[in-house]
C-alpha cells in the first residue's frame, strides 16, 4: 500500500490512552496511518496521549473521545463520534477490557462472578458491534480484539477471567465467518503477561497474582512481551499483507505456552 493510501486510513483504538492501545496508535501512525481516534474513560489521560502521539506524527489527525465502553450507549457514542470526525473506520482495535485480579473461584464472592465476566467481555465486544454496520456499508474493515492466553490455557485463579477471554476469542472466530462476505476481517490477539502496562504493575503488586505471573515470566525464554510487540502485530494484521488472514486467535507470549 502506498504511503498516500495509508495516510487516508482511520484507526479507532478502544483503550488507547495507555499500554497496548497507546503503543498500537503510535505504531500505526509511524506506519503512515493518518487519522486516529483514541477512546478511553479518562479525558486527562486522553489529552496527554494525544499530545504524545502528535509529536510522533505532527501531520496526523489525532483525537480522543471519552467513553465507558462497557455501557452500550457510550460504546455506540464513541463509534458515532469517530464516524462524525472521519467518515469511516478502517481498523478497530478493541482492547479496553477491565482488570480484575486473579482469584481462586472459591475465594471469589458469588455476586462478583457475573460482574467479572460481563465487564471483561462487554467493553471489548460492544464497540465491535457498534462499528460493524459502518464497515458493512463500506464492504471493508479490520477488527482486532485483545483477549489473553487465559482463554486458551487453564490456570488456577483465572476461572472467571479465562471464561471471559474464551468468549472474546469465540466471538471473533464466529464474527469472522459472518463478516467475510462483507470484506471484513476479524482476528483476536491473546498475550499472556505484558510488561510496561498499568495492568502489569497492578498484577505484580498483588501477592497471589504476582507469584502467578512471576512464574509465567520465567517461562518466557524468548523475552517477556512488551506493548510494542503487540503493536507490531496489529500493524501487520491491519495491512494488505494480512489480506487473507481472518478468524485467527494469535498468542504473543515469548514462549510461555504454545496454546
Direct distance between the N- and C-terminal alpha carbons of the chain, in angstroms, rounded to an integer: 32
For residue 113, tell me if it sits in a domain: yes
Q: How far apart are CA 107 and CA 105, in angstroms?
A: 5
For residue 176, tell me if it sits in a domain: yes
Task: Domain count for the chain, please give it.
Answer: 1
For residue 255, tell me if it sits in a domain: no
Percent of all residues in the chain with a pLDDT value above 90, rounded to a whole number:
82
Residue 216 domain boundaries: 3-250
Give residue 3's pLDDT: 64
Residues 6+ apart with CB under 8 A from 4: none
Give residue 142's pLDDT: 98
| Residue 30 reports pLDDT greater than 90 | yes
CA torsion angle 82 19 119 218 (round to 10): 150
Give residue 33's pLDDT: 97
**Nearest CA among 124, 253, 144, 259 for reference residue 192:** 253
Residues 6+ apart with CB under 8 A from 167: 117, 121, 151
User: Residue 139: helix, strand or coil by DSSP?
Assistant: coil
- CATH number of the domain that 209 lies in? 3.40.50.720
Q: How far apart are CA 187 and CA 142, in angstroms?
A: 8
Using the 8-state DSSP alphabet, how is residue 181 labeled?
G
Q: How far apart are CA 183 and CA 160, in angstroms?
A: 34
Per residue in 38-80, pLDDT (tens digit) is 999 999 999 999 999 999 999 999 999 999 999 999 999 999 9
What confidence category does residue 2 fall into, taking pLDDT thresholds of 50, 70 and 90?
A: low
Q: 10 Å Cβ neighbour count for 241?
A: 11
| Residue 9 reports pLDDT greater than 90 | yes
Nine-digit cell string for 77 = 457514542
Nine-digit cell string for 97 = 477490557
Residue 70 CA to its chain's centroid (Å): 14
For residue 223, tell me if it sits in a domain: yes
For residue 259, tell me if it sits in a domain: no
For residue 158, tell me if it sits in a domain: yes
**Nearest CA among 87, 94, 95, 85 for reference residue 130:** 94
| Residue 19 reports pLDDT greater than 90 | yes
Q: The pTM is what?
A: 0.94
Q: How far apart are CA 39 and CA 68, in angstroms?
A: 9
For residue 258, tell me if it sits in a domain: no
For residue 41, tell me if it sits in a domain: yes
**Nearest CA among 185, 192, 115 for reference residue 146:** 192
Find the helix or strand (DSSP H, E) in which 66 lies.
strand 61-66
Residues 6+ apart with CB under 8 A from 194: 19, 20, 200, 224, 225, 226, 227, 229, 230
**Looking at residues 212-216, what average pLDDT do you find?**
87
Per residue in 151-205, pLDDT (tens digit) is 999 989 999 999 999 999 999 999 999 999 999 999 999 999 899 888 888 888 9
Amino acid at each position: 500500500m502506498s504511503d498516500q493510501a495509508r495516510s487516508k486510513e482511520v484507526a479507532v483504538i478502544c483503550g488507547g490512552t495507555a499500554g497496548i492501545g497507546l503503543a498500537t496508535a503510535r505504531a500505526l501512525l509511524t506506519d503512515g496511518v493518518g487519522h486516529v481516534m483514541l477512546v478511553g474513560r479518562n479525558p486527562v489521560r486522553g489529552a496527554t496521549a494525544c499530545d504524545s502521539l502528535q509529536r510522533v506524527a505532527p501531520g496526523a489527525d489525532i483525537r480522543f473521545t471519552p467513553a465507558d465502553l462497557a455501557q452500550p450507549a457510550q460504546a455506540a457514542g464513541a463509534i458515532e463520534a469517530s464516524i462524525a470526525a472521519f467518515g469511516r473506520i478502517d481498523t478497530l482495535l478493541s482492547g479496553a477490557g477491565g482488570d480484575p485480579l486473579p482469584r481462586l473461584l472459591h475465594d471469589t464472592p458469588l455476586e462478583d462472578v457475573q460482574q467479572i465476566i460481563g465487564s471483561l467481555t462487554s467493553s471489548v465486544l460492544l464497540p465491535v458491534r457498534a462499528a460493524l454496520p459502518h464497515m458493512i456499508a463500506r464492504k471493508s474493515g479490520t477488527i482486532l480484539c485483545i483477549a489473553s492466553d487465559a482463554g486458551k490455557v487453564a490456570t488456577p485463579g483465572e476461572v472467571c477471567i479465562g471464561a471471559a477471554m474464551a468468549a472474546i476469542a469465540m466471538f471473533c472466530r464466529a464474527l469472522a465467518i459472518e463478516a467475510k462476505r462483507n470484506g471484513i476481517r476479524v482476528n483476536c490477539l491473546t498475550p499472556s503477561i505484558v510488561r510496561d502496562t498499568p495492568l502489569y504493575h497492578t498484577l505484580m503488586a498483588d501477592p497471589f497474582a504476582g507469584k502467578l505471573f512471576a512464574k509465567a515470566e520465567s517461562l518466557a525464554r524468548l523475552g517477556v512481551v512488551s506493548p510494542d510487540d503487540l503493536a507490531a502485530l496489529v500493524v501487520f494484521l491491519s495491512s494488505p499483507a494480512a489480506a487473507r488472514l481472518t478468524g485467527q486467535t494469535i498468542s504473543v507470549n515469548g514462549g510461555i505456552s504454545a496454546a
